[in-house]
Structure 1
């Protein structure tokens, strides 16, 4: 019988199709629960059914961004931009902003219709690029729009733009108080710090921490999460304490933040940097070890960069402080190769700052290359005239320390703001004198006198400059010019010091004129006419007391006698419990003498048995006996009576040697 044919397998029943409405309901539920991974999967299911669904595409992109999958979100935008008519410009610009591709993000927003969201994103990009003024302008245009937490970002932009004084007016225009939120209180405290109002900033930071704790506890956040959120406030509060001189409290706060490790990476980096700055050069190795964790070698034109994305999270000022502190520690630890490498990389990293140039010069000075440091500072002073003052002052300092007074003087003369001030004039003249340029020093005085003569200021220093110039000219043999200056001072100011200087100066050139001015001096009280001829024959002038001085002396003596009579004798104070009627036995009169000098002192007897040698038989005893004999021989040579003792000590050792032979 032929076998039966096998029945064909029945196809499996197809899964029932899920309604797209149910998928959107599930998608909405996952988004509300912040389950963004599931939201992306549901969005893909919707797109598999309806490939061009705009809502599903938008939900997928937003879910990827919320899930910090910015790269995937950007890929999804690029994939859908050709197939869909959805405008993804805002999302694309935001993804580029999150990737720190700020120039591309700003370029993406150009030419687009500006709504409040676009303007807010643009202001954030400009803020990150360091274009603070442009960012502030956009925030000012957004004041009328009802954007949540606009005032927080607005105040932060004002502080970063160096317009901390405008913060109070901005909050008044927005009709908000600084304590309306802990973020706004923190930003307002930062504005007070910029204005050097540290006490007010400290109080506002304490309020910010209290408000933050209350508001975050209402949101049912864990204690660790609350500490992470409030870590910037703790670090800023420690900084204020450091500025106010409470270094111990600041040290403990920084250390606590670092040890607990309950802070965001930017706050930890700032706390670490500030703690190193607070310690100074005390623990260089530990400071370098901590900063090395924050800095890593970069790729491409940027040789160094901050680790863990801190370049994006920290401001330019904060990044510069970290690199500067590392370079200073390298110089202190004498690691000049690493210091040189970092010093030459910093100017390209912070082109608008003067600190990298100064540190380059410091490295050259440390390597005993003062000429190179002077050259670099001079080049940058010529290249950046608006910042030349700092470079020229540093150049003058380096040149003066290196023994180049002429270069130091020339550097100071190139600073018009200070070259006529008395301290600067004195410094330049001293440098010129050291360099042997007396004519140049004289010209400095003449220029300063001319400047102060034309100056219309309340605090005019013409008298000081003229008097010092006259003294300088007299010291260097320019008596006519010195006399002219002194005479001008006498005529214009009537200065006694100038009159004395004029008399001393003209006494060398014109005695009659000196005698004429000498008559203007007031006679000294208590002195009569002095006979010059008799004075030359004696060793000195005699002082004759007048009647008035004698009477004053007598009156003073009478008063002193009256005061002496008025003094009353006070009772002596005795120790507690002491009865002066029964003082007890007198103290030992020898109590202050050393013990060996007192009559009751008896020296201790020496133990004669200490020199005897006892021990087991053998070579050790033999060596001991030998050493004793040698010592006894030495003492025998110096002292005679010790011979018997040494002989007695050697007898037992000879017996032990005999026994050891048996």
Structure 2
């Protein structure tokens, strides 16, 4: 074994970086003589990694634990390159805090690929604090990509940069990452600016060949198509998508997204059956180039929608039912809840109105009472039909059921920020601010207490909203609770302006003397706040009055009666020509009773005998007569009518 190790060492001393095939042959020869030679095994694994034979390298590491412990960095790298990023994180973490920078870089990359973006951001921040000149550029790029992913997954408060900076627009990679972060925040105008800047910087590079530039520009163009589509510029998006050579995109995951986006941006693909065929003809990416979960969810949603448009209703209902039944309920998984929404859409496919859709969907709740996606769909339909009371009652009943179960997963779903925000929005729509504050306070209290939760940290936006609502109550106990909430947020990020402002506001009510001086330095000075206000002009303009009570109204009346006033002459109203009578003469006084019927005017005098008789009948208390006869004639006529009703006697002949 000593001789083989010596020959292998001499070969390594003479070899260059391009001789990995020769190194592999020598390592295999040494292992053939002694299978327990760990040095030869280690050399073989490294040579295979350099030759991009990652599966073979992983097989060498999996053969024995001794080599895994000896070469943790190489083992983690082999796992990462073969698509097992989660296990690569475990191996890199096992190296401990004293691991070298290479292992830390490996840990950050594996955490990023396994979608543990908070851990990746933490490691990159640690690496950036210990600056190494050759790594600064790579750390900036990778940190920018991590920040964008944190925004996509709803953890934007953990991002190191909330907005693109000037230095981000100096290099095309960082400009592209800044654009991705803007897309995640729905800031598409800013994203478009960053993407154009990234293209210009890439084209200006002199150390890249034309083929290399084209490879770098393709993902930027694919992102531009998406941004233009979201901005409503479908014609520009379609024109740009038509210029993309899909076959030249080497990463199959990017090519798949590019082809799907081209279908969405194309007017020619309005035929759902054609779109369905093109969608499924796109190449599926390999295991080592899979989409992130938020991308996979959107792509799967697109697939279900295209299937529904293609009348494949039964297939969508069946496939989504499998996704829902495979997950425990209630579930906060976006994939499961998205499947629930589309499952409801499949059941209500033939409904023409929202009320008809409710009749089809509400019975599903009996089978799946804890389906979050289904409940939110029903709530949404209730809101569309202006039935806010039913929507609120449905959500409150669901929350009570989860509270009564008492399990950790059910309580996590009960106080999920999205569901709490939905109920608070319903309360706000109904004008119930007290109920909103109570709900926010309960959610904040739950997340502040230690419990067995799958969630690492409570939502910052939820805690800020809860703290603000508690401050608005002006109750001493609630203000103290708000102070504790903002104190927790301040401990997480001592530069968070919302946490600082809330903490100062709470302490100023409960204990002003305990406000740290460094917090007050963040607040703007009073002189700056009133620098653009002219007190003399305000006094000259007067103070606007609010709603006056009976007491203040009396005081205002006294003030006005004491103050000398000059009554301004009233201006004569000018009538329009359409309102003037035909015989109108300027300067002549118009008849005040001209709008009344002639017989109702005070100066009306009837002419002739018939007119006078008619006037007597209209007089209050006068005898009512008919025009065709006097009272005597009417009486005589009545007597004649009486005789007509007499029966004929027996035997009487006429």
TM-score by length of 2: 0.52
SS in 1 for 2:168: coil
What's the counterpart of residue 189 of structure 2? 199
Distance 1:324 1:238, change over 3 A: same
- Contact 2:121-2:143 at 8 Å conserved across structures: yes
- Contact 1:377-1:391 at 8 Å conserved across structures: no
What's the counterpart of residue 12 of structure 2? 24
- Contact 2:253-2:289 at 8 Å conserved across structures: no
Q: Distance in 2 between matches of 1:258 and 1:382?
A: 46
What's the counterpart of residue 656 of structure 1? none
Distance 1:121 1:389, change over 3 A: farther
User: What's the CA shift string for 1:519-560, capped at 9, x where partnerless?
Assistant: xxxx99979997699559679xxxxxxxxxxxxxxxxxxxxx
Distance 1:113 1:260, change over 3 A: closer
Distance 1:273 1:246, change over 3 A: same
Cα offset, 1:87, TM superposition: 0.8
Stretches of structure 1 lacking an aligned partner (at least 5 in a row): 1-17, 296-306, 426-454, 458-490, 495-522, 540-662
User: Following superposition of structure 1 onto structure 2, how do residues 457-496 of structure 1 map, counting pairs within 5 Å?
Assistant: none
Q: Distance in 1 between matches of 2:120 and 2:573?
A: 74
Q: Which has the higher contact order (CA 8 A, sep 6+)?
A: 2
Distance 1:367 1:389, change over 3 A: closer
Cα offset, 1:413, TM superposition: 8.8
Of 83, 87, 98, which aligns to 2:70? Answer: 87
User: Following superposition of structure 1 onto structure 2, how do residues 533-612 of structure 1 map, counting pairs within 5 Å?
Assistant: none
- Contact 2:79-2:88 at 8 Å conserved across structures: yes
Q: Distance in 1 between matches of 2:182 and 2:368?
A: 33
Of 168, 171, 178, which aligns to 1:188? Answer: 178
User: Following superposition of structure 1 onto structure 2, how do residues 308-457 of structure 1 map, counting pairs within 5 Å?
Assistant: 308-309=285-286, 312-347=289-324, 352-353=333-334, 354-367=337-350, 370-376=358-364, 384=372, 390-396=376-382, 400=385, 416-419=423-426
Matched residues, number: 407
Cα offset, 1:25, TM superposition: 5.2
Distance 1:50 1:209, change over 3 A: farther
| RMSD over equivalenced CA pairs, Å | 4.6
SS in 1 for 2:70: coil
User: What's the CA shift string for 1:378-421, capped at 9, x where partnerless?
Assistant: 9878565xx899445324168x49xx999568559986434466
Distance 1:317 1:97, change over 3 A: same
- Contact 2:251-2:289 at 8 Å conserved across structures: no
Cα offset, 1:422, TM superposition: 6.5
What's the counterpart of residue 150 of structure 1? 139
Cα offset, 1:327, TM superposition: 0.8
Bigger radius of gyration? 1
Q: Distance in 1 between matches of 2:27 and 2:365?
A: 61
Distance 1:378 1:212, change over 3 A: farther
Q: Does 1:239 align with 2:213?
A: no
TM-score by length of 1: 0.51
- Contact 2:58-2:78 at 8 Å conserved across structures: yes
Distance 1:66 1:179, change over 3 A: farther
User: What's the CA shift string for 1:75-101, capped at 9, x where partnerless?
Assistant: 21233645x696122322332233333
What's the counterpart of residue 558 of structure 1? none
Cα offset, 1:334, TM superposition: 0.6
Q: Distance in 1 between matches of 2:317 and 2:41?
A: 53
Segment of structure 1 superposing worse, 367-376 or 233-242: 367-376
User: What's the CA shift string for 1:489-532, capped at 9, x where partnerless?
Assistant: xx9699xxxxxxxxxxxxxxxxxxxxxxxxxxxx9997999769
What's the counterpart of residue 216 of structure 2? 229
Q: Does 1:119 align with 2:122?
A: no
- Contact 1:412-1:419 at 8 Å conserved across structures: no
Cα offset, 1:372, TM superposition: 4.8
Segment of structure 1 superposing worse, 133-142 or 99-108: 99-108
SS in 1 for 2:243: helix
Distance 1:85 1:391, change over 3 A: closer
- Contact 1:276-1:287 at 8 Å conserved across structures: yes
- Contact 1:127-1:157 at 8 Å conserved across structures: yes
What's the counterpart of residue 264 of structure 1? 251
- Contact 1:183-1:208 at 8 Å conserved across structures: yes
Q: Distance in 1 between matches of 2:54 and 2:13?
A: 25
Distance 1:284 1:90, change over 3 A: same
Segment of structure 1 superposing worse, 252-261 or 268-277: 252-261
Q: Distance in 1 between matches of 2:314 and 2:104?
A: 47
Q: Distance in 1 between matches of 2:600 and 2:255?
A: 82
What's the counterpart of residue 125 of structure 2? 140
